[in-house]
Structure 1
Amino acid sequence: MKLLFGVLLLLFSADVLTQETLHRNPFMPVQAAQCPTAAIEEEQQVLSWALRGVIGRDDNWYGWIQTQTGGWIRIARQKPLPLFYWQLDRLLYGSAQFSDKSASRGTCRSRSIIELKLRK
């Protein structure tokens, strides 16, 4: 009986050890490990941007962002961004705030809002 119990215990533990959950990065939270790679890449992309200029008044503001590769993006509230997971939430003189589109559904990223300040 002890032998049968030992064999079953070994088989069960071998099955548990081969589960896919052990193949994830143990230093990342489980939710972050399930985050789509594209979402993480977009977050890093937005964090690498530099807000270089903002003009306008009232609700009609335009801004210019310089990307890490040296390219430029013109941003405005009514103009869509070249992003899927992030959107321009607020644009005022000196700052642009981007929000995670999926924040209301529970996000897998470390932040749901990124604010860029004007750099000179």
Structure 2
Amino acid sequence: MQLNAVCAPYLILYFNDPDCDDCRRAKERLVTSQSLNRLMDSGSLALLSVCVGGKTAAWQQAAFPARWIDGYDEGWQLTRRQVYDLKAMPTLYLLDSRKRVILKDISIDKIEECLRHSVR
């Protein structure tokens, strides 16, 4: 999938590893965020979950919300080419409609705050 194919004013990139405890906590927080879910329901926000380890058994067994776009880094292209700064897992980015980075390596709280002030 190409990022340009995602048609939403805002996009959260959620880089994760299904075996990572911090990633599981972040996923739960994203799943239960009322403000983010409202924005996804309205079409103002999309969420792309990317397993950085590739097509692992853990990724294949993981369950993700239907509204999320779920994928993996095939051949570790993002990691090898260092397309994104992935110092720790999970890593969250917020992109605008032109897929420009608004926030990088940021908390879910900061994403919610930014979107609360940006989406009207």
**Bin of the TM-score, shorter chain as denominator length:** under 0.3
Q: Which structure has the highest strand share of the two?
A: 1
Q: Rg larger in 1 or in 2?
A: 1
TM (norm. structure 2) is 0.26
Higher-RCO chain (CA-CA 8 Å, sequence separation at least 6): 2
